[in-house]
Structure 1
Amino acid sequence: MATSKISCDHCGAPLKYSSGEIIVTCPYCGYTVVIDVGKPFTLEHSLLPSNFNEKKAIDSVKSWMKHSFIAPGDLARRAKFTDVQLQFLPFWIIPITANSTFRGLFERTGPRIEKKGSIKKNYNWIVFGQRKTEFPTREFDIPLEGRMPYDFRKIPEGAKVFNSEIGEHEAVDIAKQQIKNDHRFLAKQDADRIIDLETEFKVGRAYYLHAPVWIMRYKYKGKNYQVFLDGCEGEVIKGDLPTNIGFF
């Protein structure tokens, strides 16, 4: 991935960013800029602090291993951690109300029946800001109540901060499509075949958030596995276990 440089308009420090990134935060002063238009970032930029160092993060994952009923009994003892990285990942938080009305057919028992209904929900919808990186966003219950204004001094030494490759408007569009897909899934609990589904959205003020995630790789009996750990609360977001069942 190609890396480019610009200077921070606030403190003059060099800013490095990778191809595709459009929102860059200065690691020296915390100033954030939208690089494709060269304008200051005007939305709220929040940070969730990291409350776990490397040892505490590994201990949390080992505890998760011990309490997993599908993991081998010796996993916590024999797992060898080969790569442990704290990363501050970019997310868009979209406060949004979605109101869907649908019409469909109920066909599973007896004569075909037309079904109509509505689904209305309020969300703080989460959109991951990177395109090229896989992340289990839907499994991440971000503790939003713990957020604070972005402060570069709260980033631990050695942690890597990733910039967003997605802007606000695209994040809102992604949220709308994902919510509409979810509402279609919910509607199919009442109707086997959806004929029509219309969704109206009321979008609040989006904000940009960096959240700490420990990305940890370990080896067990010659095979490699990966775990995502919430660096704020120490909960496993998603992790591989050496079992035929697959993801836990």
Structure 2
Amino acid sequence: MSQINQSQGLTCPNCSGVVPVPEGTRIVSCPFCDMKSLVQGERGIRRWQVARTIERQQAVEKVEGFFSGMKKARDLRKEAQIRDVFLVYLPYWRVQSIVAGWMFGRVKAGEDSTKPVEVEVLEEMHWNDAAVDVSEYGVHRVSISKNQLQPYESDLLHSEAMVFEPSESRTDAQLEAEQHFVYRARKKRSLRNKFYEKFHMLRQRLSLVYYPLWVARYEYKKRNYQVVVDGVKGDVLYGKAPGNSLYRAAMLVLGMALGNLILVDGTVLAGLLISNSEDGDGALLVLLPILFGLGLIVSGYRAFRYGEEVEEIGRANKKAQMAGGPQKRLDALISAGGGDMEGLMKTGLSFLEEISEMGNK
């Protein structure tokens, strides 16, 4: 342990020798008499590391497997050339806490009635998020278990890899963790009406974990891309690749065709069902084909518009969800299309014409 990470001013109560105290350590041993002492007061940030188990060649094999896929260029596996593979240790904030609290509200008890309920929450929860800007590596979260944590050895990690130091605020990390815990507590029970809620974060602990990732950079037709492999489990956590033009065209045509079919014919069918029904709430059925049809159209367009470059990231590696207001689904769908439906159609038709010309050559 380097001198920078140790305090040298504490005195052993048994032999009066100077006892070094590594940052974040609570129990220390005297180097002269071996007496153990409990350190009280500000503990700082406890640091851990996760041991790497995946070798470089194993990471290369995982990257080569990433080159396959329907969405990716058909000749990617053949033409891609891996230029560089290196190991990095990224720091991740890790917060664990016992979440205790209650929610009071009402749930549906029958077709037209509700009943009051009290929901109790008492659970130990964990949260982690990158302590640095990971826009280049794309991995906001990693899977960390308590059994994987080992004492941080700065010299050892720096000798085998590039080690990043935290740049994100610990205060912001704790706030994000608390919002995530509230989000998970609310998901324990869906309430039709909620009157009151209160959650407490008990025995909250913040630590910093250095996690190993293999980063591979490859070249395809004079363009550079990157893939990130888990240094512990060997999974591909994040990667970019050139898209498949035929797949993009097929998804655009399929999305437009099915979306319009459901949007038009489905709405007409729902209208007929409502006209023959005496239930006033049946009017909500009209919204289902409209939303589903629009969803298919936008999904097909997104696959075409953004499919030139494929970006893959596991759901478990994205930022953790946090407590907040309801999401505006329809606005998200419209904004996904750029808000310009005329431009969407013109761009799609132009792309289909290009594909047709390629087929005639």
TM-score band, normalised by shorter chain: 0.5 to 0.7
- Unaligned regions of 5+ residues in structure 1, if any? 1-7, 12-30, 34-39
* Bigger helix fraction: 2
- Unaligned regions of 5+ residues in structure 2, if any? 6-21, 25-41, 245-302, 314-361
| 70-79 or 45-54, larger mean C-alpha shift | 70-79
Q: Hey, what does 2:253 align to over in structure 1? A: none
Q: Is the 8 A contact 2:92 2:131 kept in 1?
A: yes
Q: Hey, what does 1:25 align to over in structure 2? A: none
Shift of 1:176: 0.8
Mapped to 2, the partners of 1:192 and 1:225 lie a distance apart of 47
Shift of 1:227: 2.9
Mapped to 1, the partners of 2:57 and 2:162 lie a distance apart of 18
- The percent identity for this pair of structures is 19
Matches within 5 A, 1:204-219: 204-219=204-219
Mapped to 1, the partners of 2:81 and 2:89 lie a distance apart of 24
Q: Residue 125 of structure 1: which of 124, 127, 134 is its match?
A: 127
Mapped to 1, the partners of 2:169 and 2:78 lie a distance apart of 43
**4+ residue segments displaced more than 6 Å:** none
Q: Is the 8 A contact 1:240 1:247 kept in 2?
A: yes
Q: Secondary structure at the match of 1:155?
A: helix
Q: Hey, what does 1:37 align to over in structure 2? A: none
Q: Hey, what does 1:20 align to over in structure 2? A: none
Q: Hey, what does 1:200 align to over in structure 2? A: 200
TM-score, length-normalised on structure 2?
Answer: 0.47
What is the identity, as a one-letter code, of the residue corresponding to 1:99?
A: A
Q: How many residues align?
A: 211
Mapped to 1, the partners of 2:84 and 2:192 lie a distance apart of 46
Q: Is the 8 A contact 1:93 1:206 kept in 2?
A: yes
* Bigger strand fraction: 1
Q: Secondary structure at the match of 2:312?
A: coil
The answer to whether structure 1 residue 247 and structure 2 residue 337 are counterparts is no
Change (3 A) 1:137 1:97: farther
Q: Residue 171 of structure 1: which of 162, 170, 173 is its match?
A: 173
| 215-224 or 48-57, larger mean C-alpha shift | 215-224
Q: Hey, what does 1:63 align to over in structure 2? A: 65
TM-score, length-normalised on structure 1?
Answer: 0.64
Q: Secondary structure at the match of 2:167?
A: coil
Q: Hey, what does 2:234 align to over in structure 1? A: 234
Q: CA RMSD in A?
A: 3.8
Q: Hey, what does 1:5 align to over in structure 2? A: none
Mapped to 2, the partners of 1:76 and 1:88 lie a distance apart of 28
Mapped to 2, the partners of 1:218 and 1:195 lie a distance apart of 55
